[in-house]
Amino acid sequence: MVSHTMTTTHGPIDVHVHLSGNGKGGMDCWHRQRWIMKPFLWAGARDIGLKCGFADSGFDRMYLDQLLHWLSTSSLEAAVLLAEDWVRDDRGAVRKDLTDFFISNDKVFTAVKRSAKLLAGVSIHPARPDAVDELERCAAAGAVLLKLLPCVQNVDCNLSKYKPFWIKLADLGLPLLAHTGGEFFVRSCRNDLKSPGCLRLPLECGVTVIAAHCSTRALPWDGDYFEEFLQMRKDFQNFYGDLAALSHITHLKSLERLREEPERLLHGTDYPVVTAVFPSWLKGWIDRETMQHLRGIHNPLEKKIQLTKALGFPERVFTDLWGLLPRAPQLASLTNL
Ligand SMILES: [Zn+2]
């Protein structure tokens, strides 16, 4: 019997885009005011072209409007928009005192309705008493992946009591995008959970795991987990890394190695985190003309795509995620309509 497989060519997809909000528009998001982060929030807001400050009552709407503008004028076919669950204790109780940033799953579901190019990445702490129910609800509502920040949210993924949750996640076919390595913007309450080694149990349960930032350091004094990432990528065929935020001076050593060994890497920006172009020129990876061209791209989503291309990463880095998402075939037929 001859089987006809229809091959669909997909465009680039960004696995790592943040929704943001100051909570003034409702209860589905919350943000701690940390004076130390103000200059960075200001720099980020300027880079993405926001015309208002973070404390503005219209911030939430303007942030999403601006993201939709960049998305529609980029070469991206889609971007995964991320929720962020509360920091919780090991029994699942909310620890607002330890939380800097919260974005509910429903806020993300509402936001993705604004564009067919936006896909929902939900966040569910596995210690929540309703974790499996919430996972099923979100999968049924169209979530394409689960996002967690183990070191920030206190998720010790290797706890055996989370096994049923990981098995359910694998059954539903949703990848886990997990923060690894240094974290700069929000406080980490569990520095021991920055290592990719804390993702072994979900991997063993058959979950496709994407280590955000390939476990590289964010600041020079962060612990270095990059070698561990490389070893785990050899050990687990279902283990990937994303290139989100990777462009700054502290990332160069890891980026050099990733350029040489670009297996199972996925494109991401970490929007609204700023993409730096100068360090790649400093390293001699791009010439002055290319640097100037990249600096002239005002669309932050597009700038990272073009930088990653200029650094010589293969095309599959931009599209391999399509094959890992649960609803890829349906999405393909929808976009072909
Ligand atoms: Zn991020």
Q: What share of the chain is helix, strand, coil (3-state, %, to 5)?
A: 45, 15, 45
Task: Give the Å distance between the CA of 206 and the centre of ligand 1.
Answer: 24
Predicted confidence at residue 7, as pLDDT, reads 54
Spatial separation of the C-alpha atoms in residues 216 and 272, rounded to whole Å: 19
What's this model's pTM, rounded to 2 decimal places?
0.92
Domain assignment present for 8? no
Predicted confidence at residue 191, as pLDDT, reads 85
Query: Which segments of the chain have a pLDDT < 50?
Result: 1-6, 329-333, 335-337
Predicted confidence at residue 37, as pLDDT, reads 62
Task: Give the Å distance between the CA of 300 and the centre of ligand 1.
Answer: 15
Task: Give the Å distance between the CA of 81 and the centre of ligand 1.
Answer: 10
Q: What is the per-residue pLDDT across 155-184, written as a single tens digit (0 to 9) for each?
A: 999 999 999 999 999 999 999 999 998 776
Peptide bond into 220 cis (omega under 30): no
CATH, residue 295? 3.20.20.140
Q: What is the per-residue pLDDT across 19-40, written as a single tens digit (0 to 9) for each?
A: 988 878 666 888 777 666 666 6
Task: Give the Å distance between the CA of 6 and the centre of ligand 1.
Answer: 34
Task: Give the Å distance between the CA of 194 and the centre of ligand 1.
Answer: 13
Q: Cα 303 vs. chain centroid, distance in angstroms?
A: 17
| Closest residue by Cα to residue 229 from 189, 257, 188, 191 | 257
- Checking 203-206 for CB contacts under 8 A at 24+ apart, the result is 203/232, 203/236, 203/238, 203/239, 205/163, 205/166, 205/167, 205/169, 205/170, 206/166, 206/167, 206/170, 206/238
Domain assignment present for 2? no
Domain assignment present for 190? yes
Domain assignment present for 7? no
Instruction: Look at the block and give the residue holding tokens 């929030």.
Output: 41
Task: Give the Å distance between the CA of 273 and the centre of ligand 1.
Answer: 8
Task: Give the Å distance between the CA of 335 and the centre of ligand 1.
Answer: 27
Task: Give the Å distance between the CA of 185 and the centre of ligand 1.
Answer: 9
Domain assignment present for 71? yes
Bridge-based pairing of strands 101-103 and 145-148 is: unpaired
Name the domain count of the chain. Answer: 1
Domain assignment present for 292? yes
Domain assignment present for 9? no
Domain assignment present for 76? yes
Task: Give the Å distance between the CA of 292 and the centre of ligand 1.
Answer: 26
Task: Give the Å distance between the CA of 270 and the centre of ligand 1.
Answer: 5
Task: Give the Å distance between the CA of 133 and the centre of ligand 1.
Answer: 25
Residue-range definition of the domain harbouring residue 111: 14-335
